[in-house]
Amino acid sequence: MNRLFFFPLFLSSLVLTPVSAQEPAAAAPPAPAAKIAADPSAAYRDAAASLDQDLRSALDELAALRAAIAAEKPALSAEANRIAADLREKRRQSEIARTSRDAAEDEFEKIDNDLKIWRDERSYLEGLLLDFRKTHQSTAGPLSGLTSSAPDPVAPLALVADVLAEFSRSGGAVTVTGEAVAADGVLTAGTFVKVGPVSWFLADDGNAAGLVADGDDLRAHLVNKGTSRGEIEKLVKGEADTITFDPTLGSAIALSESETTLAQHIKAGGFWIYPILLLAAIALAATLFKWAQLAKIRQFGSAPVQRILDALERREPEAARSEAAVIRHPARAILEQGIAFVERSPGGSRDDLEEALYEKYLEAAPRLQRGLPFIAIAAAAAPLLGLLGTVTGMIETFRLINVFGTGDAKSLASGISEALITTEFGLIVAIPALILHALLSRKVQGIKATMEMTSLAFLNGTKSK
């Protein structure tokens, strides 16, 4: 490699050799002038021979360098190929490692998702077992002494095993004598039949029979009479039969009993429900009045106006009035005003006629708008009153929380009911009122547009005549 580096320097030295050869000759002791003058060609031949010898030496050294380079090139090429092969191998291994890492990350992510799913399933199963334990404890009722509870509260599976074992021992149904509170509130003696969490009661006197559930006084209460005495008797005897039961364990019956009437629902809304109902009544009355008023109005075309103008051209005002009399529209007053003006002042100016027609238009416009503001006020104020009821209801709820705490939800029901019911009725009043106001306003605008077109047609018709 050092030879390759010094090779350009060697070539430059060859180029500068004649100059450097002449300089020492000039510096050497001068030859006898007579000898140079006698044979000048010999001196040039000697110089040329010296240059040739130097050139051959340089060429020999260049050839030696090329031979050395050629000898070293295979080894260098082999080393370069080996390094390139190692680089390709390292790149391949790096790509394999990257792919393996991505695959491992995907696998870890999948395992993490599976772990989350398994945890959710575990929580779901634990919730089901906990609900089963609570349901079993709450629905044991009068037969609670015959059923075994789970010895370990953290092992609900033991409770499931005990219940299944109980079913196996009892053949599916357990009977026990006891007392239940009938629908009339009388404590009645009889027989209880229990299958799983469902219990029936059969009175000894035969006057009461049906499903039972635990009451607030920890006594069994008869909640349904849909099951006949014969069905329960067959169940007691172990005979096969179809029997009625409540799959919600009394929740559906309690929900049906908790349904309120409209009057009770309104009463639960508190004080601000009554202004909302007053707005609803006002809006309803205004809507009915306005609808009846607009229903009497009938639209008409340009033909009656043209017949009136033709009658006025023939100097027949009575015929024009007869044509106007059949029109059932506020524009009739405008046409009658125009007929009277033309009859009174046949040569009257256009401005005076326009003023007379516009006077009748302004006179009819307030009657058309009458009642619409009440509907608009109801549509705007009812939601605000509902919001006000919501605020007062929430204030009442927080006051009850301050007194009773959050443990008993029933104590908070009144404030929450007031907050929600007022909002409900506010929207119930506002939405229809808004829609009706838009429809009636559009109808009134159409009538007023017809009046304006009628006035303009009459004014232009009289001008052209």
C-alpha 411/C-alpha 132 separation (Å) is: 28
Residue 239 confidence (pLDDT): 64
Q: Which long-range contacts (CB under 8 A, 24 or more apart) does 207-211 make?
A: 207/182, 208/180, 208/182, 208/183, 211/244, 211/245, 211/246, 211/250, 211/253
Q: Tens of pLDDT along 35-48?
A: 555 567 887 888 88
Domain boundary at 197, 230, 257, which? 257
**Over residues 209-218, mean pLDDT:** 66
Residue 255 confidence (pLDDT): 67
148: pLDDT strictly greater than 50: no
C-alpha 51/C-alpha 27 separation (Å) is: 19
CA-based angle 216:218:222, to the nearest 5? 80
The DSSP bridge pattern shows strands 198-203 and 174-181 to be: unpaired
Q: Are residues 246 and 387 in the same domain?
A: no
382: pLDDT strictly greater than 90: yes
Q: Are residues 202 and 299 in the same domain?
A: no
Residue 437 confidence (pLDDT): 94
Helix (DSSP H) and strand (DSSP E) numbers for the chain? 15, 5
Q: What amino acid occupies position 28?
A: A
Residue 411 confidence (pLDDT): 65
Residue 141 confidence (pLDDT): 47
Residue 386 confidence (pLDDT): 92
Q: Tens of pLDDT along 159-206?
A: 667 666 665 555 556 677 777 777 666 777 777 777 666 777 777 776
Q: Is 307 among the domain residues? A: yes
Residue 388 confidence (pLDDT): 92
Q: What is the largest CA-CA distance in the chain?
A: 173
Q: Are residues 34 and 91 in the same domain?
A: yes
Residue 144 confidence (pLDDT): 47
Residue 280 confidence (pLDDT): 94
Residue 14 confidence (pLDDT): 42
Q: Are residues 240 and 278 in the same domain?
A: no
Q: Is 268 among the domain residues? A: no
Q: Are residues 78 and 168 in the same domain?
A: no
Residue 142: pLDDT band with limits 50, 70, 90: very low
Give the 3-state secondary structure of residue 330.
Answer: coil
What is the residue range of 76's domain?
2-111
Q: Are residues 294 and 434 in the same domain?
A: yes
Q: Is 123 among the domain residues? A: no
Q: What amino acid occupies position 305?
A: V
> Would you state the structure tokens that stand for residue 395, as one six-digit string?
């204030």
Q: Is 226 among the domain residues? A: yes
- Global confidence as pTM: 0.51
**Over residues 224-246, mean pLDDT:** 65
Contact 438, 375 (CB under 8 A): no
C-alpha 174/C-alpha 144 separation (Å) is: 11
Rounded (10°) angle between helices 331-344 and 317-325: 170
What is the number of domains present in the chain? 3
